[in-house]
């Protein structure tokens, strides 16, 4: 199963804490919630009518991230950006991108992200930001 999500990748944000009198509560950044809902809608639209995957899964994820100006301005980088071969070696960490995506897929593509037993993940600069996902069952 392959999906292409035309949404700029966003890393999972850290939980926020607030004091409410003598209580401390945790909450999530509103922007993260909006992004995850949008991502879940894109996934549901493409995955519609297919069963929820069960058992151990293999995932191949590619996060294509908009390059900063200091990279996109350099002429020698133009072809590499078009070929999408420049790896991102900056923060945010790749596992934060992965977590946000898996949370969006839970309950739609698979029951829980704990089913992912094997993964191949990469983040690259691209002039066309998006997420490409391939998920398949691992045959026992």
User: With the C-alpha atoms ordered 81, 3, 29, 106, is the resulting torsion angle positive or negative?
Assistant: negative
For residue 116, the enclosing domain spans 2-137
- Prediction pTM value: 0.89
Q: How many domains does the chain have?
A: 1
Q: CATH no. for residue 97?
A: 3.30.1330.70
Work out the pLDDT band at 22, boundaries 50, 70, 90.
Answer: confident
Model confidence pLDDT, tens digit, residues 89-128: 999 999 999 999 999 999 999 999 999 999 999 999 999 9
Which regions of 6-138 does DSSP assign to beta strands (E)? 16-20, 23-27, 57-65, 116-125, 130-137
User: With the C-alpha atoms ordered 98, 103, 104, 105, is the resulting torsion angle positive or negative?
Assistant: positive
CA separation for the pair 65, 118 (Å, rounded): 23
**Residue located via tokens 């995932």:** 59
């Amino acid at each position: 199963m392959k999906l292409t999500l035309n949404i700029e990748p966003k890393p999972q944000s850290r939980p926020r804490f607030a004091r409410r009198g003598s209580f401390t509560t945790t909450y999530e950044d509103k922007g993260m919630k909006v992004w995850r809902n949008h991502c879940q809608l894109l996934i549901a639209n493409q995955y519609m009518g297919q069963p929820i995957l069960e058992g151990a899964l293999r995932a191949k994820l590619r996060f294509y991230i908009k390059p900063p100006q200091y990279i996109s301005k350099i002429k020698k980088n133009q072809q590499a950006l078009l070929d999408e071969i420049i790896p991102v070696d900056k923060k945010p960490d790749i596992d934060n991108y992965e977590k946000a995506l898996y949370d969006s897929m839970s309950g739609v593509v698979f029951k829980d992200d704990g089913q992912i037993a094997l993964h191949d993940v990469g983040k690259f600069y691209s002039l066309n930001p998006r997420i490409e996902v391939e998920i398949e069952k691992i045959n026992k």
